[in-house]
Amino acid sequence: MIEGRSLGQIAWSRLKRDKVAMAGGVVVILLVLLAILAKPIEMVFNLDPNAFHQNLVDPELLAPKGGWGGMSWAHPLGVDPKFGRDILARIIEGSWISMLVATGATVLSNVIGTVLGIIAGYYGGWVDALISRLMDVFLAFPLLLFAISISASLQDGAFGLSGLPLRICVLIFVIGFFNWPYMGRIVRGQTLSLREREFVEAARGMGARGPFILFRELLPNLVAPILVYSTLLIPTNILFEAALSFLGVGIAPPQASWGGMLTSAVDVYQSDPQYMFVPGLAIFVTVLAFNLFGDGLRDALDPRSK
Amino acid sequence: MNTRKVTSALALCLAMALGVSACGGSGGSSSSGKKDQALTSIVNASTKKGGTVTADHSSGPDSLDPGNTYYGWVQDFSRLYARTLLTFKPAAGKAGLTVVPDLATGLGTASPDAKTWTYHLRTGVKFQDGTPVTSKDVKYAIERSNFAPDVMSNGPVYFKSYLADDTKYQGPYKDKSANGLASIETPDAQTIVFHLAKPFADFDYLATFSQTAPVEQSKDTGATYVQHIQSTGPYKFASYSEGKGATLVRNPEWNKATDPIRTALPDKYVLKFNINQRTIDNDLLSNNLTVDLQGTGVEAETQSKILGNKSRLDHTDDAIAGATSYMALNLHVAPFDNVNCRKAVQYAVDKKSVVDAEGGAVKGDVASTLLPPSVNGYTKFDDYPTAGNAGDVTKAKAALAACGKPNGFTTTLTARSDRQPEVDGATAIQAALKKVGITVNIKTFPSDKYFSNYAGVPDYVHSHDVGMMMMAWGADWPTGYGFLDQIVDGSAIKPSGGNNLMELNDPQINQALASAISNTDAAARTKAWGDIDKMVMANASVVPLIYRKNLLYRPDSATNVTVTQAYLGMYDFLLMGSSK
C-alpha cells in the first residue's frame, strides 16, 4: 500500500540522502547547543573566560610561554598572549554572542522583509513601487559606515539599556534592520508568481480579504524560500558581527567574542600565530556548516532549483 | 691581544663620550654597541663630517615651523635649523637635562622676585639670507607663536600665560603697531627682557622652547612660513613638501664660532612623512634608515622580533619616556569622594598585571609616584605598597570596609579606544578590582575626543558616573612644575579639555605649587616637586601605573647616538649623524 506523504516528509527524505547537508546540519545543531549551554558548560568544567594567567605568558615577546600558543592540558587551545586567558573558555563564551546576534538579526530582517515583500508583491501598483524604492534606498545605504557610527555613538546607554545588553541589541538592530531588502525581494518575487495561481483566485472568489490571503494562503507557500534564505543569512550575519567586533564597534571587551578575539590576534600575528587560528577556525566552521546545511535544505525543498 | 685592544678602545670611547663627542677613527665602521648603551653614553661616536641622515615618520609633524609646533620630536629636530635662546645640552645621560645657552650668551638673569628675566644674545648670528639676528626677531617669534592662535594654532601658549599682558595684545598679524607686546622689551639689538605677571622660576625652561627661535618679520607669511623657514642653524631647507617630507642641506651663513653646542657633522637630512610604521621598523632593522623621527619606539610586532635576537637586542635602547601612565579617580563621583574607597583601589590594582598587559618591562616599570624618574624633582616613595606590586586583596577589603562599602561597588573606567595598550591596561585593572568586589565597566573613546568631549569634561564625568579614567602624561619641560601644573593644580580644571581628571583642587597643593615656582632657589624648588607628589599620593586620587619606556632601535649606520631625556626619551637629533 502506498502511503500518502506530506511535502515535509518528502523534503526530509531528500535531505537525509544528502550526506554533506546532514553533516552540516549536525554541526549546526552542536553549535546551537554549545551556544545555549555555554554558561552551564563553563560552570561544569570550571572555565572562566576572563580569568588571567599572566604567569603563562611572556609579556615582552607578546606570546604565551612554550610552543603552540601555550597549549597544555589545563588550557587545551592555549591562552591569549597578553592576559593569559583560556582560549577554549573564550571560544565557548563567544559562541553564544555570535549565535544570539546572528539569529536575532536574521529574525528581524526576516520579519520586516517578509511582511513588506508579501505586501508589495500582492498589492502591486503604487504600494509595490513605494516599497521597492524603499528597498533600493536601503540597499544603497553605506551600511558599514552607518553601523560603525551608530555603534560608536550608542555605547553609553540608550533605551534604558547599557553595557552588554545594549551592545547586543544595537548589533542585532544594525545588522538586521539593513538586511531586510534581500529577503523582501525574494518574498516579493515569489508572491508575484503565487498571486496568479488558482488557489488564490479561488480564495478571492470566495470572498477572502487581503490579510487572510496574505497570511493564510500565500505565507505557508513562502515558508520554504524563507527557511532556506534564513539558513544562508545566519552565516553572513555571523561574519558581519565578527567584522564589527573586529573593527572595535561590536561587543566591548572583556566580554569574549570571536570577532574581538580576531582583532586582538591581528596585533600579534607574527609572534603568536596560533591565537588567530582558533577564532578564525571557529568562524570558518560555523559559516561553512550553516552554508552546507542551507544549500542542502534548498535542494530538498525545491529540487528544481538544483 | 686583539680583543683587549678593542675593549680598551671602547672604554676610552665611553670615557670621552661623557665629555664632548670626540672619538675619532671609530666613526663609519659598524660598532653596534650594547643594549641600553645610548642611555648613558654616546654610541658609535664619530667626528667625521659628511653623510646623509635619513629619517622617516609614520604620520608627520604638526608643523615644522618652530613657532607652530607642540610635538616633542619637532622641538628636538628643529634645533638643526632654528636656534633658541637656550637649549638642552646635547649629551648623554643625566647631562642631557642641563639647560645651556644657545642663541643667548648665558642663562637668564632673574630679578629677585623671579618676575623679570633678561637674556643677552650672541653677536654674529645670522639668518640664512645673511641678515643679523636681533632681539627684535626673538620678540617677534614669541608674539606670533603665542598671541595669534588663529594663525599659529598648534603650539603651547606658556609665554602668553606667564607674561604680563595688560594691553590685550592681539598678536602681530592684527596689531601692526611698531612696539608690539609691551611685556617683552628689547632695549638694544642684543638684549631681551621678559616681564612676567607672576613669579616663575622655571623661565629658563620656557626659553628652550622652539618658539624662542628668531623669525624675521619681513619674511613671515603666517601659516605658510613653514614653506620657506629662514634658518639660523647649521642646516636650511632645500625643499619641503607638506605631508611628504623635506630635505635639509648645509647653511653657509651658520658660523661655528657663534655656536658652542652643534657639531653639524652630516651634510644632509632627508625626511619622509606618512611612511607605514612597519616599513620604518623594517628599514631600521635592515640599516636602510638612520632614525625614526617620532622617537616613541618600534611597534609591538617589531619588539617581539627584536627581543628574540641577541644582535638586534644590542642595537636597542629602552629609553625612559618621561611620562607616567596613571588612573585618575574623580573626587566628585561617588564613592570616590571617600578617601578610603580611593585607597581601596590603590591597594586592589595589580600593577604588575597592568605592566604585563601593556607589553612588559620593555614598555615600562611599575610606577608608585606621579613624577617619572627622569623629571627633575622625582622622589622615590610608595604610599600603597603591595607584595610584588600585584595588589593586596586584604588591605583593599579593609579600606572598602572603612569606606562603608564592604561588598564593593560598580563604577565606570574610560580609556582611549585607539590606544590598544591603554585598553589592555584597563582590562587588567578590571580583572584585579573584580577580586575585591568592585565591578568595572570599561568605556572607550577616540583619543581626539577624549579630553574635549568625555574624560576632560566634568559635566560628562559626573552625569555618567565615570569614577575612573585612564590617563598618561609627559612634561612639556622636564621639571616637576612642567609635569604637575597641568594635571594637579585646581586651575587646570576646565569645562572641557582639562587635564586635571581627578578634579583635584586642594588649596594646600595649589599653594605649594605657587610658592615653589616663585622660589629662585633651584634646590628648594626641586625638593618641593617631590613633596607635592607626596601630597597628591596622600590624597589617593591618582593611581600611578607605569613609568613609560620606549624601545628605540639604532641601526649600524647611525653615529653619535644618545638618548635625550629632555625630549621624552628620543634620540638627540643635534648629535646624531650617519656613516652613509
Q: What is the rounded average pLDDT for all residues in chain A? A: 85
Q: With beta carbons less than 8 A apart as the criterion, state whether B458 and B498 touch.
A: yes
The answer as to whether A306 is a domain residue is no
Whether residues B427 and A155 touch (CB distance < 8 A) is answered with no
Among B353, B360, B423, the residue with its CB nearest the CB of A253 is: B423
Alpha-carbon distance values, A248 to A40, A59, A277, B357 (Å): 28, 23, 19, 18
The answer as to whether A235 is a domain residue is yes
Which residues span the domain enclosing A269? 11-301
Give the pLDDT band of residue B74 (cuts 50, 70, 90). Answer: very high
Mention every residue, 6+ apart, whose C-beta is less than 8 A from residue B239: B246, B247
Among A59, A253, A268, the residue with its CB nearest the CB of B360 is: A59
Q: How many CB atoms lie within 10 A of CB B129?
A: 12
Buried b (16+ CB within 10 A) or exposed e, A96-112: bbbbbbbbbbbebbbeb
pLDDT attached to residue A1: 58
Among A54, A254, A270, the residue with its CB nearest the CB of B353 is: A54
Is residue B22 over pLDDT 70? no
Whether residues A62 and B353 touch (CB distance < 8 A) is answered with no
Query: Cα–Cα distance between B493 and A50 in angstroms, integer?
Result: 36
pTM over 0.90: no
pLDDT attached to residue A2: 66
Alpha-carbon distance values, B382 to A143, B395, B531 (Å): 51, 15, 13
The answer as to whether A1 is a domain residue is no
pLDDT 10s digits, B514-538: 999 998 888 999 999 999 999 999 9
Percent of chain B whose predicted confidence (pLDDT) is above 90 = 69
Query: Cα–Cα distance between A260 and A244 in angstroms, integer?
Result: 9
Q: Which domains does chain B have, with CATH numbers?
A: 52-272 (3.40.190.10), 320-550 (3.10.105.10)
Rg (CA), chain B: 24
pLDDT attached to residue B110: 93
Q: Is some CB atom of chain B closer than 8 A to the CB atom of A72?
A: no
Whether residues B430 and A57 touch (CB distance < 8 A) is answered with no
How many angstroms separate the first and last alpha carbons of chain A? 31
Residue B155 DSSP symbol:
S
Give the pLDDT band of residue B8 (cuts 50, 70, 90). Answer: very low
State whether residue B324 is helix, strand or coil.
strand
Among A248, A253, A270, the residue with its CB nearest the CB of B442 is: A253
Give the pairing type, strands B291-292 and B52-56.
parallel
Closest-CA residue to B326 (of B370, B364, B373, B263): B370
Query: Cα–Cα distance between A280 and A284 in angstroms, integer?
Result: 6
The answer as to whether A56 is a domain residue is yes
pLDDT 10s digits, B161-213: 899 876 688 889 988 888 889 899 999 999 999 999 989 999 999 999 999 99
Q: Identify the closest residue of chain A to B352 by CA–CA distance.
A: A54
Lowest mean pLDDT among A272-281, B240-249, B550-559: A272-281
Is residue B10 over pLDDT 60? no
Q: Is some CB atom of chain B closer than 8 A to the CB atom of A247?
A: no
Cell reading at A256: 569574549
DSSP-derived secondary structure for A165-194: HHHHHHHHHHHHHTTHHHHHHHHHHHHHHH
Which one-letter amino acid corresponds to residue B332?
A: H
Residue ranges of B 297-316 with Cβ closer than 8 A to chain A: 300-301, 303-305, 307-308
Cα dihedral B273, B277, B279, B283 sign: positive
Q: With beta carbons less than 8 A apart as the criterion, state whether B323 and B471 touch.
A: no
Domain total of chain A: 1
Residue ranges of A 272-291 with Cβ closer than 8 A to chain B: none
The answer as to whether A253 is a domain residue is yes
Alpha-carbon distance values, B219 to B135, B179, B227, B230 (Å): 16, 18, 11, 8
pLDDT 10s digits, B419-453: 888 989 999 999 999 999 999 988 888 888 888 88
Q: What is the CATH number of the domain that holds A263?
A: 1.10.3720.10
CA B35 to chain CA centroid, nearest Å? 23
